[in-house]
């Protein structure tokens, strides 16, 4: 039970990191285009 909750939190953290990386990449691309 506790292990499953920990796994979910870890997965959410990975998703958040992936989104953060994508956002910074997109922002960099937008700046380059302008």
What is the pLDDT at residue 1?
A: 65
The alpha carbon of residue 7 and the mean position of all alpha carbons in its chain are separated, in whole angstroms, by 16
Quick: pLDDT tens for 1-34.
Answer: 678 888 899 999 999 999 999 999 999 999 988 7
Q: Is the pTM of this model over 0.85?
A: no
* Tokens encoding 2: 């506790």
The pLDDT of residue 20 is: 94
Predicted confidence at residue 6, as pLDDT, reads: 86
Domain carrying residue 20: 1-32
Which residue bears the tokens 């691309």? 29
| Residue-level pLDDT at 33 | 82
Q: What is the largest CA-CA distance in the chain?
A: 50
Residue with tokens 């960099």: 28
Count of structural domains within the chain: 1
Work out the number of other CB atoms within 10 angstroms of the CB of residue 9: 10
């Amino acid at each position: 039970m506790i292990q499953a909750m920990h796994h979910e939190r870890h997965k959410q953290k990975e998703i958040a990191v992936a989104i953060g990386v994508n956002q910074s990449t997109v922002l960099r691309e937008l700046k380059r285009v302008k």
